[in-house]
């Protein structure tokens, strides 16, 4: 019996992370999980270029403290284009709720990253998020 692959609403991801090992591990894990990584960058300027010129980005995984500035600037640009944002940081910013769908606290197990993406995807689809969310994840977005 053949089973079809579930169609995801969130497929194209931009990773904005200035810690090389974290960025590499995240990119590899998400590719293996079936996501398309449109870019992995470590600077605000590079992230803004991707957001302005990328054909499609469904979700930005965004660290707040970057080498050349604040991820908040990236979040504002992504939010203005209607792109979902998941802050992935050790210290979730106070204004995150107004910009992002959620915040995943570092360090986190990889399954929590998938759980956070799945919860955001459910809300984007107009469904209720799973009852059990990862412990290190705060969901801000709500189903319509």
Per DSSP bridges, beta strands 59-62 and 69-70 are unpaired
pTM listed for this prediction: 0.91
- pLDDT value for 9: 80
Closest CA to 113 of 2, 23, 50: 23
Q: What is the DSSP string of the chain?
A: ---PPPPPS--EEEEE-S-HHHHHHHHHHHHHTT-EEEEEE-SHHHHHHHHHH-S--SEEEE-SEETTEEHHHHHHHHHHTT-EEEEEESS--TTHHHH-SEEEESS--HHHHHHHHHHHHHHHTTPPPPSS--TTEEE-----
How far apart CA 72 and CA 92 sit, in angstroms, is 10
State percent of the chain over pLDDT 70.
Answer: 92
1: pLDDT confidence band, cut at 50, 70 and 90? very low
Q: Which two tokens stand for residue 69?
A: 């500035």
20: pLDDT confidence band, cut at 50, 70 and 90? very high
108: pLDDT confidence band, cut at 50, 70 and 90? very high
- pLDDT value for 3: 54
Asked whether the predicted pLDDT for residue 128 surpasses 90, the reply is: no
Asked whether the predicted pLDDT for residue 144 surpasses 50, the reply is: no
Q: What is the mean pLDDT of residues 44-70?
A: 92
Q: What is the mean pLDDT of residues 42-52?
A: 95
């Amino acid at each position: 019996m053949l089973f079809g692959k579930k169609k995801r609403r969130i497929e194209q991801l931009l990773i904005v992370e200035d810690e090389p090992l974290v960025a590499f591990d995240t990119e590899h894990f998400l590719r293996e999980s079936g996501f398309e990584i449109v870019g992995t960058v470590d600077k605000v300027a590079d992230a803004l270029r991707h957001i302005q010129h990328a054909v499609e980005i469904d979700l930005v995984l965004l660290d707040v403290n970057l080498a050349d500035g604040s991820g908040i600037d990236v979040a504002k640009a992504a939010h203005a284009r209607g792109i979902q944002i998941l802050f992935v940081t050790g210290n979730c910013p106070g204004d995150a709720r107004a910009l992002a769908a959620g915040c995943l606290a570092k360090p986190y197990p990889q399954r929590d990253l998938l759980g956070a993406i799945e919860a955001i995807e459910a809300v984007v689809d107009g469904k209720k998020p799973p009852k059990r969310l990862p412990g290190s994840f705060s969901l801000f977005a709500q189903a319509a």
